[in-house]
C-alpha cells in the first residue's frame, strides 16, 4: 500500500493543476488583505495607537466575512478549486485503463480504493486550507499576534459562535480548529467525486458535484427550512453558531456516509 500511496500522492500534489489552485488561493488571500487595508479610514487607523491593540486576526480573511468580495469568491469557488487537481482522477483512471495497472501493483484490490479515498480527502482539504493559512501568514506580517478584545468589535466572532470563548482567550487554538474544520469539510466534499465516478464518466461533471452539494445545501436550508445552517454559510466557522451546529454536523455526516458508498461498489468495478 505504501507504493500506491506514494504514486497517488505524487499525482495529486506534483501537478500543474494543484500548483495553479494553490497560487490562486494565495492570490485571493493577498487581494483580500489589500481590500481590507483600503477600507480603513484615516481616522480609524488611530486605533493602532490606542489601548485596543489590533491583532493580525483582524486582517485574517475569515474575519472579514462576505463584506470582502474576495472572501466571498473564495467561499463560492473553493469546492471547485479543491476538486480540480485530483477530484476526477478516479474517472480518468477508469477511462484510460490505468486503474488496472495500479491495482496490479497492490497486494489487495482494496488498497487502491483506500489510497484513492485518503489522497482525494487530503488533496481537497489542502487546497481549501491554503488560502486560510496564507491569509494568516500575510496578516502576521502586517500586525502583531495577540489576544483579541471582544469589546472593541473588531472581530466577527460573536458570543453565539462556536468556540467564541476560545477565540478571545486562546486564539491560537481557535485558528488550529478553524483550519482543521475547513480541511475536513472540503476534504469530505471532494470525496463525493469518487462516489459519483461510479455512474458518471464526464470528469467535468464529476468536478462540479462538490459545488452542487455545497450550494444545494444553502438552497435547501434557506428556502425549505428558513435556516442559515448551510454548508456554504458555515464553511466560515465564525458564522457557525451554537444553535445551528447540530444541523451542520448532520449535513457533514451525510456527506461522509455518501463518501463511504465509494467502497460498496468495489466488487462491481473493473478487474
With a threshold of 0.85, does the pTM exceed it? yes
C-alpha cell at 262: 465509494
For 39-96, what is each residue's pLDDT tens digit? 554 444 444 454 456 788 988 999 887 778 899 999 999 999 999 999 999 999 888 8
CA distance 98 to 111: 15
C-alpha cell at 104: 496490479
CA distance 140 to 162: 24
CA distance 146 to 157: 15
End-to-end Cα, the chain, rounded Å: 18
For 223-249, what is each residue's pLDDT tens digit? 776 667 888 888 888 888 988 899 899
pLDDT at 266: 65
Q: What is the DSSP string of 185-234?
A: HHHHHHHHHHHHTTT---HHHHHHHHHHHHHHHHHIIIIIS--S--HHHH
Give 112's pLDDT tier (boundaries 50, 70, 90).
confident
Amino acid at each position: 500500500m505504501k507504493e500506491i500511496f506514494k504514486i497517488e500522492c505524487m499525482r495529486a500534489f506534483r501537478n500543474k493543476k494543484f500548483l495553479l489552485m494553490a497560487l490562486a488561493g494565495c492570490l485571493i488571500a493577498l487581494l483580500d488583505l489589500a481590500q481590507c487595508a483600503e477600507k480603513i479610514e484615516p481616522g480609524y487607523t488611530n486605533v493602532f495607537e490606542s489601548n485596543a491593540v489590533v491583532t493580525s486576526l483582524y486582517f485574517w480573511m475569515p474575519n472579514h466575512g462576505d463584506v470582502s468580495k474576495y472572501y466571498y469568491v473564495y467561499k463560492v469557488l473553493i469546492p471547485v478549486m479543491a476538486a480540480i487537481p485530483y477530484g476526477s482522477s478516479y474517472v480518468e483512471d477508469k477511462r484510460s485503463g490505468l486503474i488496472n495497472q495500479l491495482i496490479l501493483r497492490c497486494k489487495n484490490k482494496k488498497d487502491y480504493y483506500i489510497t484513492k479515498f485518503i489522497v482525494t480527502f487530503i488533496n481537497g482539504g489542502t487546497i481549501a486550507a491554503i488560502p486560510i493559512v496564507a491569509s494568516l501568514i500575510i496578516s502576521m506580517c502586517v500586525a502583531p499576534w495577540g489576544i483579541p478584545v471582544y469589546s472593541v468589535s473588531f472581530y466577527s466572532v460573536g458570543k453565539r459562535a462556536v468556540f467564541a470563548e476560545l477565540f478571545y482567550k486562546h486564539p491560537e487554538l481557535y485558528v488550529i480548529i478553524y483550519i482543521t474544520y475547513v480541511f475536513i469539510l472540503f476534504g469530505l466534499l471532494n470525496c463525493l467525486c469518487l462516489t459519483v465516478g461510479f455512474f458518471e464518466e464526464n470528469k467535468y461533471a464529476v468536478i462540479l458535484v462538490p459545488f452542487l452539494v455545497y450550494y444545494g445545501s444553502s438552497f435547501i436550508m434557506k428556502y425549505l427550512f428558513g435556516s442559515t445552517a448551510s454548508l456554504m454559510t458555515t464553511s466560515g466557522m465564525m458564522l457557525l453558531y451554537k444553535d445551528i451546529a447540530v444541523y451542520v454536523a448532520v449535513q457533514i455526516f451525510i456527506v461522509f456516509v455518501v463518501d463511504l458508498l465509494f467502497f460498496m461498489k468495489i466488487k462491481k468495478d473493473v478487474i
